[in-house]
Amino acid sequence: MEKLLIEGGHRLGGTVQISGAKNSAVALIPATILADSPVTIDQLPDITDVRTLCHLLQEIGGKITFHGNTVTIDPRSMVDMPLPNGSVKKLRASYYMMGAMLGRFGKAVIGLPGGCNLGPRPIDQHIKGFEALGAKVTNEQGAIYLRADHLHGARIYLDVVSVGATINIMLAAVRAEGQTIIENVAKEPEIIDVVTLLTSMGAKIKGAGTDVIRIEGVRELHGCRHMIIPDRIEAGTYMIIGAAAGRELLIDNVIPQHVESLTAKLREMGADVQTGEDQMLVSRCKGTLKSVDVKTLVYPGFPTDLQQPLTSLLTQATGTSIVTDTIYGARFKHIDELRRMGADVKVEGRSAILSGSSQLEGAKVHASDLRAGASLVIAGLIARGITEITGVEHIDRGYDHLMEKLSGIGAHVWREQADEADIHENLKHQD
């Protein structure tokens, strides 16, 4: 087990290259199960969640070849092997194996997914969709069993706007017989990316990016080549770093429209954000940062995944800021850690209330989930002295070469082996 150490207070500048989107990659990889010839995916991020999913595809018989950030997945010898335990438990996105295997084999057994602990994360809308398409779904000893003699099109209304349910139902529906209409769907860019891949594979899908997706089922899907969109959450994280400690931090390979809600907030705080075609230049403002209120919403609203990173920046703003998470009301495990570092912040219901600005001090803190980790990295970059972050495995699930990218822009950051005391502390946090 390793820990991440950061010596804060250094001004950062230069260029940071954004990788392919994690939340696209984790859906695109299972989507390849539906093809009957090899699929090549470019700009794959080098993160643990991607490696885990590739491993799962190998477990069911897929042949996988890597060339740098390109992967070719040959799904021809895949079989409908049950996956009730093991790697499926390591990440949330293993739920996409349900839709993809159901779509290809008419059956699947998938252990209930793991991933970040953000409070309750039900999958009832996914299941409702699978059932509407003709599957029988049961929960047996912590694994979901899906069986369908015949998948057919259906009209499905999502009670909750869900990224996962939208994608999972599409995966099951693209090879079902007839027309599927999914209403009240999510509009995140990652959904459009999955639709782009499925369309290149031969699927017939209309309406991605709107509230209603219409699918005309096809009998077969074929291989293709696809490039993953840039990771808007990774880009957003570095934008926040630029606003916190940047002297002209250039963020390269970003789609500026995907981060508009963050750009607006950073400008409201007084940071200097300039937008190019696929680049953004962010610098800390000359004067003091201003407090702002933030409410997370589905896309194109402010993303819940950037709420935790932004909170660290808000500790530096003068005045009171209120951060409300309407998507995951309990996504505040980073707050106690920020308090240890000297932040004046408390949680009330679904909101964190901050009074600033505070001088953050380096401390020993724990990353309880991926974006909590990003939040603590940002706090560490701002703080005086050295911050030690345990729970690095959560950060490695979603940030490609974080340490190298940070070092490249002038941060003082390194890894050390965690000692007995750190591991003990880590286990205490997992209770």
- State the catalytic residues: 116
Q: Which residues of 288-301 are buried (b: 16+ CB within 10 A; e: fewer)?
A: ebbbbebebbbbee
Report the SS3 class of residue 135. Answer: coil
Q: Least distance from C-beta 161 to ligand EPU, angstroms?
A: 7
Q: Which H/E stretch holds residue 238?
A: helix 232-245
Using the minimum distance from each CB to ligand EPU, give the nearer residue, 104 or 394.
394
CB of 79 or CB of 330, closer to ligand EPU: 330
* 166 residue type, one letter: T
Q: Are 5 and 381 in contact (CB under 8 A)?
A: no
Peptide bond between residue 230 and the one before it cis (omega within 30 degrees of 0):
no
Residues in contact with ligand EPU by the rule CB under 6 A:
23, 26, 92-93, 116, 121-126, 160, 162-165, 186, 233, 303-305, 327-328, 370-371, 398
Q: How far is the CB of 163 from ligand EPU (least distance, A)?
A: 4
User: Measured from the CB of residue 268, what is the shortest distance to ligand EPU in angstroms?
Assistant: 22
Measuring CA to CA, how many Å separate 292 from each of 171, 268, 318?
A: 39, 7, 9
Helix locations, 32-179, DSSP H: 48-59, 96-105, 124-132, 163-173
For residues 342 and 344, give the distance between their C-alpha atoms in angstroms, rounded to a whole number. Answer: 7
Is the separation of the CB atoms in 22 and 394 below 8 Å?
no
3-state secondary structure of 143: strand
Half-sphere exposure of 412 (CA within 13 A, CB side): 13
Residue number, 57 or 165, with CB nearest to ligand EPU: 165
- Shortest distance, position 11 Cβ to ligand EPU, whole Å: 28
Nearer to ligand EPU, 230 or 303 (CB): 303
Given the complex with ligand EPU, which of 64 and 297 has the nearer CB atom?
297
Question: Which residue type, as a one-letter code, is found at position 144?
Answer: I
For ligand EPU, which is the closer residue by CB, 263 or 368?
368
d(CA 228, CA 87): 23
For residue 93, the minimal CB distance to ligand EPU (Å) is 4
Distance in Å, CB of 374 to ligand EPU, minimum? 9
Q: What are phi and psi of 404, to 5 degrees?
A: -65, -40
Cβ at position 123, least distance to ligand EPU in Å: 5
* Smallest distance, ligand EPU to C-beta of residue 87, A: 15
Q: Please say which residue, 101 or 233, places its beta carbon nearer to ligand EPU.
A: 233
Residue keyed to tokens 């345990």: 390
For 256, which DSSP code? G
CA dihedral 45, 48, 50, 52 (to 10 degrees): 170
Please give the full DSSP string across 355-421, using - where no structure is assigned: EE----B--EEE--SHHHHHHHHHHHHHSBSEEEEE-HHHHHTT-TTHHHHHHHTT-EEEEEE--HH
Angle at 199 between CA 195 and CA 205, to 5 degrees: 65
C-beta closer to ligand EPU: residue 93 or 221: 93
